[in-house]
């Protein structure tokens, strides 16, 4: 089946923007930390771009429980944090969650279009860290095991 566009071009002859491959990873176990340094949470996926000029669209959906304070979430390519704010503040991260006193359970979803400029296998992963003496939990409420959820990361190579 061929799909034609209004200008007469077909899906096969259209310009950039095609999705060439999709890779996804799913995490449904619970991970907790009190670390003030970024740690891997066991959610990663790898993709091998077919051209160094192609981009990778990363879509991630994290379910997090956090006691009072700030929790940081980083999107990492290889060993390099990406999707970062500008500036050199020590508190920088791709996303942050904050709860003032009694804890929170939140969903953090985001997407980022990356230019890895390679045709080598590239791994993207999620890392978390806490501030001060707090607990950060992925896929569960920070203080117990009764509330459970799941998280995912999806990679799409875009021509």
Structure tokens at 143: 């203080």
Residue 104: predicted pLDDT: 67
d(C-alpha 19, C-alpha 138), whole Å = 29
- Domain regions of the chain by residue span: 24-158
- Say which CATH topology domain 24-158 has: Jelly Rolls (2.60.120)
Q: How far is CA 113 from the centre of its chain?
A: 11
Residue 135: predicted pLDDT: 83
HEC per residue, 73-85: EEEEECCEEECCC
Residue 22: predicted pLDDT: 97
Angle at 109 between CA 74 and CA 42, to 5 degrees: 50
Mean pLDDT per 10-residue section of the chain, whose length is 159 residues: 67 74 95 90 97 96 82 91 75 65 76 96 94 82 71 96
CB 124, CB 95: distance < 8 Å: no
Q: What number of other Cβ atoms are within 10 A of residue 46's Cβ?
A: 12
Residue 7: predicted pLDDT: 66
Structure tokens at 77: 């390519």
- DSSP class of 148: B
- Nearby residues of 81 by Cβ (< 8 Å), 6 or more positions away: 38, 74, 75, 93, 94, 127
Q: Is the pTM higher than 0.85?
A: no
- Nearby residues of 8 by Cβ (< 8 Å), 6 or more positions away: none
């Amino acid at each position: 089946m061929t799909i034609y566009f209004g200008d007469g071009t077909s899906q096969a002859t259209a310009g950039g923007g095609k999705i060439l491959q999709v890779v996804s990873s799913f995490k449904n176990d619970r991970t907790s930390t009190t670390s003030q340094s970024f740690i891997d949470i066991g959610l990663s996926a790898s993709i091998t771009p077919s051209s160094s000029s192609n981009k990778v669209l990363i879509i991630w959906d994290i379910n997090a429980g956090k006691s009072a304070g700030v929790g940081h979430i980083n999107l990492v390519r290889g060993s390099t944090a990406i999707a970062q704010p500008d500036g050199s503040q020590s508190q920088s991260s791709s996303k942050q969650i904050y709860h003032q006193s009694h804890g929170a359970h939140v969903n953090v979803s985001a997407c980022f279009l990356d230019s890895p400029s390679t045709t080598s296998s590239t791994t993207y992963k999620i890392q978390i860290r806490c501030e001060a003496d707090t607990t950060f939990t992925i896929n569960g409420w920070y203080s117990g095991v009764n509330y459970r959820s799941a998280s995912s990361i999806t990679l799409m190579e875009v021509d």
